[in-house]
Structure 1
C-alpha cells in the first residue's frame, strides 16, 4: 500500500495535521509538531502540543479514532491515514532525538517554499516536555494530493500518492 518512496517522504519531508471527533461526531483537529510512520507502514506516531490540542486529545482518549494527513509542502503530495484504537502518552526524553531531526527536515522543506527558518523553528521546535504522542494503527489510507484521485483509497492498484494529480 505504501511503497518505500512514500514512506521516506512521509518520514522526512512532511508536516502532519491530525483530526478526531467526539462521541457526538463533533470534529476536532490540531497541527502536529512532528509525525512518522513506522516500518510496519501501519503504525503512526504524531507529536502534538498538549496545550494546543486539548479537545483533540480528549476525543482521541474517548473514541480511539484518529486521522492523520501527511503533506509535503513543496510538492503538495499528501496522504491521509485513518485508524482506531489510538493511545495517548506524554512525550519523553527518548523522543527528543527524533523531534530534533524532524525540525531540521521540515525547516529545509519549508525553505523550499520561502518560509523563513525562524518562523519554521518557532512553530515546530517545541520542548518535548510540552508534547503528547498519539499512536494508532492505520486501517485505511487515502490519496489527498490535489487532483482527480484526491480522496480515493491508496491501494495496490492505485498510483503512488505523488502521482495522484
Structure 2
C-alpha cells in the first residue's frame, strides 16, 4: 500500500494570484538570524504550486543571495497591490542559478502584469519600469518548493497557516 501524495499547500486561487504576476518580496536570513530582503523582478509558479521561481537582481541582492546560498532558507511574500491580498511561502532549501535568455519572456510577462497591478493604485508605467529594471546577465533565478504557506492579508487571519488545498 502506497501513501497518498501530500495535499498541495496552495489553493488554485493562490496559485492563480502568484501566476498572474503580483508584487513579490524575497527574504532570507544569515546564520545569526539577521534578515535580508529584496523586491523580485519576476516570479513563476508551477501549475500545481509545487515549485516557485523568483528572480532578483544580483547587484542589488548580494546579502540576500549570500544568505540563501549559506542557509537555503527563503520566504517570499506575494501581494496584490490593490486588494492587499497576500500570501507568504517558505522553504528551507532553495537553488540559485543565473537567469538565461529562456527566462526573458517570463520576466517581460511579469513586468507587464506589474505595470497593470501597480497602475491600479495610481503609479504610472515609467515608475514600475524603473522599480523593476534589470539587465538579464545580472538576474539570478531562485527555485524552491514551498514547505509552509501563510495568509498575510491584513485582518484577523493574518499570520495563520493556510489550510492545505
TM over 0.5: yes
Residue 100 of structure 1 contacts residue 125 of structure 1 at CA under 8 Å; is this kept in 2?
A: no
Task: Normalising by structure 2, report the TM-score.
Answer: 0.91
Residue 129 of structure 2 corresponds to residue 130 of structure 1: no
- RMSD between aligned residues: 1.3
Residue 68 of structure 2 corresponds to residue 60 of structure 1: yes
Aligned to 1:161: none
Residue 76 of structure 1 contacts residue 145 of structure 1 at CA under 8 Å; is this kept in 2?
A: yes
In structure 2, what is the Cα distance between the partners aligned to 1:51 and 1:125? 12
Gaps of 5+ in 2: 1-8
Shift of 1:104: 0.6
Q: Find the partner of 2:105 among 97, 101, 104.
A: 97
Q: Find the partner of 1:149 among 146, 152, 157.
A: 157
Aligned to 2:129: 121
Shift of 1:36: 2.2
Shift of 1:3: 2.2
In structure 2, what is the Cα distance between the partners aligned to 1:156 and 1:53? 32
Task: Normalising by structure 1, report the TM-score.
Answer: 0.91
In structure 1, what is the Cα distance between the partners aligned to 2:72 and 2:10? 23
Residue 42 of structure 2 contacts residue 110 of structure 2 at CA under 8 Å; is this kept in 1?
A: yes
**Alignment coverage as a number of residue pairs:** 157
Q: Find the partner of 1:71 among 76, 79, 82.
A: 79
Residue 25 of structure 2 contacts residue 76 of structure 2 at CA under 8 Å; is this kept in 1?
A: yes
